[in-house]
Amino acid sequence: MRESYCADAADWHANAAETSLMLAISPDSVRRDRIAAADDPDRTEGLFFSHPVNRTSANGVTGAPSRASREEGMRLYGWMVEDLSARVRAALAETPPLDHGYGAPP
């Protein structure tokens, strides 16, 4: 999932994956007329600190939203739903590592 999500930018604000997800779940919020010219390289590689997007991007985008598609967004969304569902199922079945509290006999 991470490899697919970060394929065009590790700092993924408005990259291909995020734009694809928005095309899949909220297409009316995507400014399609701006996608083709919006690509902006990821400038965060090797940085220690996380910086706000306005300090790492010339236009608010990091990566290549021009590669986005609704189909890719549906694929990524499906992965996220599967992963979250598996985590919730595991959490519902989880038991504490110890069956007693502080000071109680084991």
pLDDT in tens, 36-58: 899 999 999 899 998 999 999 99
Dihedral class, residue 97 (left if φ above 0, else alpha if ψ from -120 to 50, else beta)? alpha
Neighbouring CB atoms inside 10 A of 3's CB total 6
Let me know if residue 32 belongs to a domain: yes
Q: Report pLDDT digits (tens) over 57-89.
A: 999 999 999 999 999 999 999 999 999 999 999
Let me know if residue 94 belongs to a domain: no
- 13 compared with 40, residue with greater pLDDT: 40
Task: Give the 3-state secondary structure of residue 55.
Answer: helix
Q: Report the number of secondary-structure helices (H) and strands (E) in the chain.
A: 4, 0
Let me know if residue 19 belongs to a domain: yes
Let me know if residue 101 belongs to a domain: no
Per the structure, the count of domains in the chain is 1
Who's near 8: CB < 8 A, 6+ residues apart?
15, 16, 17, 42, 63, 64, 67
Confidence check: pLDDT of 2 > 90 = no
CA 49 – CA 6 distance, rounded (Å) = 18
User: What pTM did the predictor assign?
Assistant: 0.80
Task: Give the 3-state secondary structure of residue 60.
Answer: coil
Confidence label for 103 from pLDDT (cuts 50, 70 and 90): confident
| pLDDT at residue 106, rounded to an integer | 64
Identify the CA nearest to 1 among candidates 77, 65, 71. Answer: 77
Let me know if residue 90 belongs to a domain: no
> How many residues are present in the chain?
106
Let me know if residue 98 belongs to a domain: no
Residue ranges making up the domain that contains 33: 2-79
Let me know if residue 104 belongs to a domain: no
Radius of gyration from C-alpha coordinates of the chain:
19
